[in-house]
Amino acid sequence: MSDTQPRVEPLPGYVRIADLLSALSLAADLAVGLPAEHAVRSCYLGMRIADQLKVSLDQQAGLYYAELLMDAGCTAWTSHFASYVMSDEIAARRGFYFFTDDHNPIEVMGWLKDYVAAGQPAHVRAQQLLNFALHGKETTREGFRNTCEAAGRFAERLGMPELVQTALVSVFEQWDGSGPGGTRGEAVPLISRIVYTTSFLEAFHHVGGRAAALRLAEERRGKAFDPTVVDAFLSIASEEALWETLEQESVWMRVLSMEPPSPHRYIKEDQLEEVALSFADFADLKSFYSSGHSRRVGNLAERLAEHMRLPEAEVSTIRRAALMHDLGLVTVPSFTLLKPQNQLTQIEWERLRLHPYHAERILARVPVLAPVVPLIAAHHERLDGRGYYRGLSGSQIPLGARIIAVADRFDELTHDTPDEPAVDQEVALQRMSDEVGHALCPDAYQVLAEELRASGSTSLSRRKNRSPAWPAGLTDREVEIVRLLCKGLSRQEMARQLVMSEHTVRHHLEHIYDKVGVSTRVGATLFAVEHDLLQ
Q: What is the pLDDT of residues 138-175, one digit of tens each?
A: 889 999 999 999 999 999 999 999 999 999 999 999 99
Looking at the fold, whether 428 and 300 belong to one and the same domain comes out as: yes
CATH of the domain at 492: 1.10.10.10
How large is the greatest C-alpha to C-alpha distance in the chain, in angstroms?
A: 71
Looking at the fold, whether 286 and 197 belong to one and the same domain comes out as: no
Looking at the fold, whether 284 and 360 belong to one and the same domain comes out as: yes
60 contacts 191 by C-beta, under 8 angstroms: no
Query: The pTM is what?
Result: 0.94
- Burial readout 231-246 (b: 16 or more C-beta within 10 A, e: otherwise): ebbeeebeeeebeebb
Looking at the fold, whether 449 and 497 belong to one and the same domain comes out as: no
Looking at the fold, whether 173 and 80 belong to one and the same domain comes out as: yes
Measuring CA to CA, how many Å separate 485 from each of 244, 420, 493, 516? 48, 20, 10, 14
User: Does 259 reside within a domain?
Assistant: no
Looking at the fold, whether 278 and 355 belong to one and the same domain comes out as: yes
Tally of domains within the chain: 3
| pLDDT tens figures, 435-488 | 999 999 999 999 999 998 887 554 554 444 455 689 999 999 999 999 999 999
| pLDDT tens figures, 192-228 | 999 999 999 999 999 999 999 999 999 999 999 999 9
Residue 43 phi/psi, 5-degree rounding, is -60, -40
Partners of 266 in the β-ladder: 16
CATH of the domain at 140: 1.10.3210.10
User: Does 85 reside within a domain?
Assistant: yes
Looking at the fold, whether 391 and 506 belong to one and the same domain comes out as: no
Instruction: Specify burial of residue 252 (Cβ count, 10 A radius: 0-12, 13-18, 19+).
Output: buried
472 three-class SS: helix
Final residue before a domain boundary, out of 398, 427, 454: 454
**Domain of 405?**
271-454
Looking at the fold, whether 279 and 361 belong to one and the same domain comes out as: yes
Residue 69 CB-half CA count within 13 A: 38
| pLDDT tens figures, 275-326 | 999 999 999 999 999 999 999 999 999 999 999 999 999 999 999 999 999 9
Partners of 440 in the β-ladder: 436
Final residue before a domain boundary, out of 212, 246, 280: 246
